[in-house]
Structure formats: C-alpha cells, structure tokens
Structure 1
Amino acid sequence: MSASARRRDTPGRYAQRRSAATARDVGYGSESAFSVAFKRVVGTSPRAYRQRFPRVT
C-alpha cells in the first residue's frame, strides 16, 4: 500500500466495500496482493480491520 493511499484512507472509509474494489482503487492488480500488503502495513487483515472500524453514518 502506498503512502498516499494510507493518507487518503481513514478508518471506516472503505468499511462496506469489498477488498477487490479497494485493491483496484489504490492500484493493486489483485485482491491477494492488496491483502498481503495491507496486513504488512496495518497489522491485521482487511476483514478484521472492517470489523474493528465499522462505517459510521
């Protein structure tokens, strides 16, 4: 995940989106590559992150 992608994101912004859509939006070619990078940077899987930071409307 690039630094610019991390800066744009805030907890909950992508909470209701599928990882594949988010991966494409931030420039990854596959959901798998995005998930590996996300876990390396954030320390948890995208699914666990979505559960921890549910979208607030």
Structure 2
Amino acid sequence: MKKIVFDFGGVLFHWKPSRLMQRELPRRATDEASGARWAEAVFRGYGGDWGEFDRGTLE
C-alpha cells in the first residue's frame, strides 16, 4: 500500500468551517455569513501551488 486517504469531515468530527472561523476569528467572522466568507477564503480561495498540491501534481 502506497497511499492512504483520510476523510475526517463528518467521520471523525463534525466539520463546519464557518463555525470554526467564527470561533477563531470572532472580531472578523461575527455571524454565519461572514464566517462562511472567511471559510471560503481560507479553505477554498487558493490557487497556484496549493491547487497543484491538492491535485497531486506537486510534492
């Protein structure tokens, strides 16, 4: 076996990125909507090397 893929969200813990942002950035993510915007920027708003890394084309 060369690779193992872990699916943590919804399996090992309840994954709510917007709530995480509200907890960790209380002055900036003051409600569900702003928490969702921060979560989008932090967890999905990336490109370049991060995108390549996620596709498995960069080590």
Asked whether the two chains share a fold, i.e. TM above 0.5, the reply is: no
Larger Rg: 2
TM-score w.r.t. length of structure 1 = 0.33
User: Could you tell me the TM-score, scaled by structure 2's length?
Assistant: 0.32
Q: Which has the higher helix share?
A: 1
